[in-house]
Amino acid sequence: MPFTQRSEETRNAILAAARRRFADDGYERATIRAIAADAGIDPSMVMRYYGSKEGLFAAAVDVVLGLPDLRGLPAGRRGEVLVRHFLTLWEGDRASGVLTVLLRSAVTNEAAAERMRTIFATQVGAVIGPAADDGPTRAALIASQLLGVALCRYVLRLPEIAALDADALVASVAPTVQHYLGDPLDSAG
């Protein structure tokens, strides 16, 4: 029952194929049969190692964002650092596809949505700073802008957003995040 090292290669192949399929097709259209075919093994192997399609999904999106600690930075540059880190994360995600999996699936699958909520509640909320009582609201506003960028750039592929190079996108979006980080929330920034 506790799987040995002998099958590790197979299990990793399943995970990699699952991430690609989930990312490309979303939870519902990604089939275990197709994932197994990509991994070059039998569909029943997926069941043996991950129990069910949901179990496979949970294993495929087991991830941490690894957000930077903003407290050491000059206040004026935190927005830029946060946006750049977020974009770098997504650019690097093209190989594994974990983040795309999460966002795509969270839209149709309630379990994935719950996972995304807790990720942002814990990780983003913690980085923003536990100080002010409107911290959670600020974190959520930042999430709305960053997720909106990810949605338009990596999922919907809106040409104008997808075509921008990372530097220009950081320069455009950083002031917004900077505003959500510190300015009074109803000011005309």
- Would you tell me which residues interact with a copy of itself (CB under 8 A)? 25-26, 28-29, 76, 103-104, 106-108, 113, 116-117, 120, 136-137, 139-141, 143-149, 151-153, 155-161, 164, 168, 171-176, 178-180, 185-189
Residue 176 is a binding residue for DNA (CB under 7 A)? no
Q: Tell me, what DSSP letter sits at residue 4?
A: -
The residues near 87 (Cβ < 8 Å, ≥ 6 apart) are 149, 166, 169, 170
Judged by CB under 7 A, the number of residues near DNA is: 25
Find the binder of DNA among 24, 38, 45, 145 (CB under 7 A).
45
Q: Shortest Cβ distance from residue 43 to DNA (Å)?
A: 4
The residues near 173 (Cβ < 8 Å, ≥ 6 apart) are 83, 145, 146, 149
Q: Which residue is listed with tokens 């930042």?
A: 142
- Calpha distance 86→169 (Å, rounded): 11
- Among DNA, a copy of itself, none, what binds residue 41 when CB lies within 5 to 8 Å by partner kind? DNA
Q: Is the dihedral of CA 104, 106, 109, 112 positive or negative?
A: positive
Residue 108 is a binding residue for DNA (CB under 7 A)? no
Residue 165 is a binding residue for DNA (CB under 7 A)? no
Residue 103 has which token pair?
Answer: 């966002």
Find the binder of DNA among 16, 24, 34, 111 (CB under 7 A).
34
Q: End-to-end distance of the chain based on CA atoms, in angstroms?
A: 58
Q: Which residue is listed with tokens 């009074």?
A: 184
Residue 30 is a binding residue for DNA (CB under 7 A)? yes
Contact 38, 21 (CB under 8 A): yes
Q: Shortest Cβ distance from residue 88 to DNA (Å)?
A: 32
Q: Shortest Cβ distance from residue 12 to DNA (Å)?
A: 11
Residue 6 is a binding residue for DNA (CB under 7 A)? yes
Residue 114 is a binding residue for DNA (CB under 7 A)? no
> Where along the sequence are the contacts to DNA (CB under 7 A)?
1-4, 6-7, 9-10, 30-34, 40-48, 52-54
